[in-house]
């Protein structure tokens, strides 16, 4: 059935375009904003090792599977699961996996856009010299005044969502592909410049020691869950993005090779971000476990005091906005694709409705830092709840279900045909990882966290 299906939407112009786009989806705030602060909160090197193991043993096999499902169906995530379920003769309830991916992507984008708005505002603050000779108290005051203002947060949240929609509305080739061809090389150049600067600080090797020397006594079961959740978050797994990007991937391109390249590039960016940030943190006697405000409350102190800090500050926050854009366009694309393909919306109308819904959801995160700061749900603010619900629960559950479907439900002949791996151990190793190692790892981490193990 699937072999004769024709795609109803655009395709990437080349393998390189897909790699750039999928890498752009993976590389984002998760690498530059989230990875350094969760690494700082979880003790450094030991957490990095667990994270890398999660990427290799869980992330890459599931990325291969999710890309494969998208390309085989050449549809949005919801229709992908409907069509592949029919092909496999499986329970029709599997289509809810597609729904969960789209919903997770929109929930993530709702708070992602707010944080990206912070980065956008801080480009302007860096440019106007707001950090010059400012001590920790002054920088904290700048941050507190900013996040305490709903009007400012709504303005920057709206601006970032508008930029995202303007890219997505242009479609795959003219919008997504053109954007990442410019944004991704720019991101790598900016990051390398910051790493080069970090090497000139007196604390470069202290930063490397913190990042790469493991102390397993600092790990907890929640640290392992955080590392696994972040592997899903940073690789854009379980949120429909890789599935819909895979649906635009032409036949004949090796899914496995591209998955390794994407995961490798994503991991390199995360580590480079840590290499760039932690030496600056230690050189200025700052704290690596400062939480979500790490790059907004600690790095501006360094930028305000260092030689050339004005330019470094601007470059850093521009890089953060660029990274956010490459991911945000992938977070909203699954919902847009579903509205176009299943509901007959024009792409413009689909972007408007998806963007408006996400913008409205984002107001919950905006207000959680000010007027609703005392509102707690399960002892978490709205922002903290959305972050935990998506990164630590929905994405791993989505990834678990993708692994089960690809490893146990989908016919072996269909996955072999779609992956077209070289003869030898490649397919059996992937089959082992996707059928046993990946789902078992996710399952046992959950059992440990809830106290069963």
- pLDDT band of 12, cuts 50, 70, 90: low
- pLDDT band of 172, cuts 50, 70, 90: low
Residue 27 neighbours by CB under 8 Å, 6+ apart: 184, 187, 234, 265, 266, 269, 323, 326, 327
pLDDT value, residue 153 = 97
Residues 449, 222 contacting (CB under 8 angstroms): yes
pLDDT value, residue 3 = 45
pLDDT value, residue 6 = 44
- pLDDT band of 4, cuts 50, 70, 90: very low
**Is residue 453 pLDDT above 60, yes or no?**
no
State how far the Cα of 266 lies from the Cα of 120, in Å rounded to an integer. 22
pLDDT value, residue 431 = 96
Residue 181 neighbours by CB under 8 Å, 6+ apart: 17, 20
- Higher pLDDT: 326 or 171? It is 326
pLDDT value, residue 448 = 63
pLDDT value, residue 49 = 93
**What mean pLDDT is predicted for residues 1-6?**
44
CA dihedral sign of residues 310, 312, 318, 320: negative
Residue 264 neighbours by CB under 8 Å, 6+ apart: none
- pLDDT band of 348, cuts 50, 70, 90: very high
The helix/strand/coil state of 435 is helix
State how far the Cα of 64 lies from the Cα of 428, in Å rounded to an integer. 13
Locus of tokens 């667990």: 50
pLDDT value, residue 176 = 61
**What mean pLDDT is predicted for residues 121-139?**
88
**Is residue 319 pLDDT above 60, yes or no?**
yes
Residues 110, 161 contacting (CB under 8 angstroms): no
- Higher pLDDT: 298 or 92? It is 92
State how far the Cα of 148 lies from the Cα of 145, in Å rounded to an integer. 5
Q: How many CB atoms lie within 10 A of CB 124?
A: 12
Residues 245, 25 contacting (CB under 8 angstroms): yes
State how far the Cα of 381 lies from the Cα of 387, in Å rounded to an integer. 10
* CATH number of the CATH domain containing 170: 1.10.4160
**What mean pLDDT is predicted for residues 21-45?**
78
What percentage of the chain has pLDDT greater than the value 90? 41
**Is residue 9 pLDDT above 60, yes or no?**
no
- pLDDT band of 5, cuts 50, 70, 90: very low
pLDDT value, residue 405 = 95
State how far the Cα of 249 lies from the Cα of 256, in Å rounded to an integer. 13
**What mean pLDDT is predicted for residues 6-19?**
62
Locus of tokens 């405000």: 293
The per-residue pLDDT for range 227-259, each reduced to its tens digit, is: 888 888 788 788 888 898 888 888 888 899 889
Residue 141 neighbours by CB under 8 Å, 6+ apart: none
- Higher pLDDT: 327 or 63? It is 63
Alpha helix (H) ranges present in 219-346? 221-234, 241-247, 255-283, 299-305, 309-343
Domain that holds residue 141: 2-449
- pLDDT band of 385, cuts 50, 70, 90: very high
pLDDT value, residue 216 = 85
Residues 228, 55 contacting (CB under 8 angstroms): no
Please give the mean pLDDT across all residues of the chain: 85
Backbone angles phi, psi at 179, to 5 degrees: -65, -50
- Give this prediction's pTM: 0.87
Q: How many CB atoms lie within 10 A of CB 443?
A: 13
* Least confident segment among 26-30, 31-35, 173-177, 290-294: 173-177
- pLDDT band of 329, cuts 50, 70, 90: confident
The per-residue pLDDT for range 45-96, each reduced to its tens digit, is: 899 999 999 999 999 999 999 999 999 998 889 999 999 999 999 998 998 9
Number of domains in the chain: 1
**What mean pLDDT is predicted for residues 7-36?**
70
Q: Which of 150-159, 213-222, 343-352 has the highest mean pLDDT?
A: 150-159
Residues 79, 2 contacting (CB under 8 angstroms): no
**Is residue 337 pLDDT above 80, yes or no?**
yes
pLDDT value, residue 277 = 83
pLDDT value, residue 171 = 66
């Amino acid at each position: 059935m699937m072999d004769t299906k024709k795609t109803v939407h655009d395709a990437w112009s080349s393998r390189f375009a897909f790699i750039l786009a999928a890498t752009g989806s993976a590389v984002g705030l998760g690498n530059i904003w989230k990875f350094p602060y969760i690494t700082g909160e979880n003790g450094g090197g030991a957490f990095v090792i667990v994270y890398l193991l999660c990427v290799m043993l869980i992330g890459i096999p599931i990325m291969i599977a999710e890309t494969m499902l998208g390309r085989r169906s050449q549809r949005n995530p919801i229709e992908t699961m409907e069509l592949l379920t029919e092909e496999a003769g499986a329970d029709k309830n599997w289509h809810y996996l597609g729904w969960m991916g789209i919903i997770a992507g929109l929930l993530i984008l709702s708070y992602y856009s707010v944080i990206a708005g912070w980065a956008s505002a801080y480009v302007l603050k860096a440019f106007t010299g707001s950090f010059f000779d400012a001590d920790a108290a002054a920088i904290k005051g700048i941050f507190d005044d900013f996040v305490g203002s709903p009007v400012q947060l709504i303005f920057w949240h709206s601006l970032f969502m508008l930029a995202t929609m303007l890219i997505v509305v242009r479609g795959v080739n003219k919008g997504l592909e053109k954007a990442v061809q410019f944004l991704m090389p720019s991101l790598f150049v900016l990051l390398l410049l910051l790493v080069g600067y970090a090497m000139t600080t007196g604390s470069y090797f202290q930063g490397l020691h913190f990042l790469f020397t493991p102390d397993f006594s600092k790990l907890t079961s929640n640290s392992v869950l955080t590392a696994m959740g972040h592997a899903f978050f940073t690789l854009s797994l379980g949120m429909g993005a890789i599935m819909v990007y895979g649906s635009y991937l032409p036949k004949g391109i090796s899914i496995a090779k591209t998955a390794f390249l994407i995961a490798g590039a994503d991991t390199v960016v995360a580590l480079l971000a840590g290499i760039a940030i932690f030496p600056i943190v230690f050189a200025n006697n700052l704290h690596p476990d400062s939480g979500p405000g790490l790059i907004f409350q600690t790095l501006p102190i360094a930028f305000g005091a260092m030689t050339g800090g004005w330019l470094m500050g601007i470059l850093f926050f521009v890089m953060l906005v660029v990274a956010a854009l490459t991911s945000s366009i992938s977070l909203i694309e699954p919902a847009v694709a579903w509205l176009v393909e299943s509901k007959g919306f024009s792409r413009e109308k689909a972007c408007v409705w998806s963007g408006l819904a996400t913008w409205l959801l984002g107001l919950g995160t905006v207000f959680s830092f000010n007027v609703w700061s005392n509102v707690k749900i399960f002892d978490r603010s709205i922002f903290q709840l959305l972050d935990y619900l998506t990164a630590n629960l929905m994405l791993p559950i989505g990834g678990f279900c993708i692994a089960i479907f690809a490893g146990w439900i989908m016919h072996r002949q269909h996955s072999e045909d779609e992956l077209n791996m070289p003869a030898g151990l490649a397919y059996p190793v992937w089959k082992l990882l996707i059928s046993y190692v990946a789902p078992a790892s996710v399952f046992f981490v959950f059992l440990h966290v809830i106290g069963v193990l």
